[in-house]
């Protein structure tokens, strides 16, 4: 049998960066604390020592400045990986991400490519309150010209980061700080230097017949836990890990809904105009709608800025019990 080992999301991302820096000399990493300190979350551990000042660059605390430098570098033929210490701080640079990076290929009639990756932790961590806890999947997923990926497992993280760096378009990679230290099983194939996960393809993490659960990032784990709980009660959940927010793999979701006749979406972001809202709309407009035996149900973060108090935070983030409740509501049990 092929060797399977436990790898944390942090090490998977580090592996991907290391392999891509080695593979293509145009690739470089920049951001706050990425070089000498080994990264705020140690994602870039050892890379500055190995590749030096030109390839791994510490920046001042100026997102608009270093994101702008990165976009210009991409237009000029380099392949920057721009790390935000949290995606909440990408708001300082959203003009660069949207108006400079996302729109340029179209506005130049395809003559100017912007091969850049914006990456870093997205969504709620623990106890960091409203200014550090927002999920930006719906924001960036809204904008044509970007690709948006949202990994869950170590395999997702490695395969999607490598695919993002190799892609000729701007890619926003939304990681999750609470997953960095979590170990996942990784196959020998997933640990090879040529392993990539195609952008725009979802993965069925668990087969089921009664209800389709669609999620991305950390809530995929919650969905799998909820599926284990529900299986004890005879309910078989099919769990879909979206992996990519834009372009969205609605075909995989449709095929599942045709089979299960029920849909529950789960996300850490806010309800209004969210990822779940988009999935529900696409299902309603498409061929799978006639197969639904009940209204789709959304499980989302609470519609408030994230509170600081732990008990309030726990009540703002979808928990396993919320998913179980939503499934029972959808199945009318």
pLDDT at 2: 67
Buried b (16+ CB within 10 A) or exposed e, 309-323: eeeebeebbbbbebb
Whole-angstrom distance, CA of residue 205 vs CA of residue 322: 20
Tokens found for residue 331: 């199945």
Question: Taking the complete model, does pTM exceed 0.85, yes or no?
Answer: yes
- Which structural domains are found in the chain, ordered by start? 7-191 (3.40.50.970), 203-331 (3.40.50.920)
Catalytic positions are: 63, 132
- Which residues lie closer than 8 Å to 253 by C-beta, 6 or more apart? 202, 212, 214, 240, 263, 279, 282, 283, 288
Place of tokens 């009540």: 315
5 bridge partner residues: 186
- Which residues lie closer than 8 Å to 144 by C-beta, 6 or more apart? 102, 106
E-strand ranges in the chain read 4-8, 27-31, 56-58, 79-83, 117-121, 147-149, 171-175, 183-187, 203-206, 211-215, 237-241, 244-246, 263-266, 297-299
Whole-angstrom distance, CA of residue 121 vs CA of residue 180: 9
Closest CA to 136 of 116, 155, 121: 121
Each residue's pLDDT expressed in tens, for the chain with a length of 333 residues: 567 899 999 999 999 999 999 999 999 999 999 999 999 999 999 999 999 999 999 999 999 999 999 999 999 999 999 999 999 999 999 999 999 999 999 999 999 999 999 999 999 999 999 999 999 999 999 999 999 999 999 999 999 999 999 999 999 999 999 999 999 999 999 999 999 999 999 999 999 999 999 999 999 999 999 999 999 999 999 999 999 999 999 999 999 999 999 999 999 999 999 999 999 999 999 999 999 999 999 999 999 999 999 999 999 999 999 999 999 999 999
Q: Are 183 and 210 in contact (CB under 8 A)?
A: no
Q: Are 207 and 179 in contact (CB under 8 A)?
A: no
Neighbour-count burial of 242, counting CB atoms closer than 10 A to its CB (0-12 exposed, 13-18 middle, 19+ buried):
buried
């Amino acid at each position: 049998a092929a060797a399977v080992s436990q790898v944390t999301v942090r090490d998977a991302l580090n592996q991907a960066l290391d392999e891509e820096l080695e593979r293509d000399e145009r690739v470089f990493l920049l951001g706050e604390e990425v070089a000498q300190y080994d990264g705020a979350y140690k994602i870039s551990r050892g890379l500055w020592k190995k590749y030096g000042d030109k390839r791994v660059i510490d920046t001042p605390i100026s997102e608009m400045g270093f994101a702008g430098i990165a976009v210009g570098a991409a237009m000029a033929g380099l392949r920057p990986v721009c790390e935000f210490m949290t995606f909440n701080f990408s708001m300082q640079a959203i003009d660069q991400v949207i108006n400079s990076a996302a729109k340029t290929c179209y506005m130049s009639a395809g003559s100017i490519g912007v091969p850049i990756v914006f990456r870093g932790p997205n969504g709620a961590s623990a106890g960091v309150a409203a200014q550090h806890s927002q999920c930006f999947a719906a924001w960036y997923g809204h904008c044509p010209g970007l690709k948006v990926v949202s990994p869950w497992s170590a395999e997702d993280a490695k395969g999607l980061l490598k695919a993002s760096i190799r892609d000729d378009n701007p890619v926003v990679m939304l990681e999750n700080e609470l997953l960095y230290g979590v170990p996942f099983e990784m196959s020998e194939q997933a640990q090879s230097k040529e392993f990539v996960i195609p952008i725009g393809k979802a993965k069925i993490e668990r087969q089921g017949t009664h209800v389709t659960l669609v999620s991305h990032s950390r809530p995929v784990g919650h969905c799998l836990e909820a599926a284990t709980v529900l299986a004890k009660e005879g309910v078989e959940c099919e769990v879909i890990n979206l992996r990519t927010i834009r372009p969205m793999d609605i075909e995989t979701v449709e095929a599942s809904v045709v089979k299960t006749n029920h849909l529950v979406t789960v996300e850490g972001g806010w309800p209004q105009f969210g990822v779940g809202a988009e999935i529900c709309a696409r299902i309603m407009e498409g061929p799978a709608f006639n197969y639904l035996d009940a209204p789709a149900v959304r499980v989302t973060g609470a519609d408030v800025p994230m509170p600081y108090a732990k008990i309030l935070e726990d009540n703002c983030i979808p928990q396993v019990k919320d998913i179980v409740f939503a499934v029972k509501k959808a199945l009318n049990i």
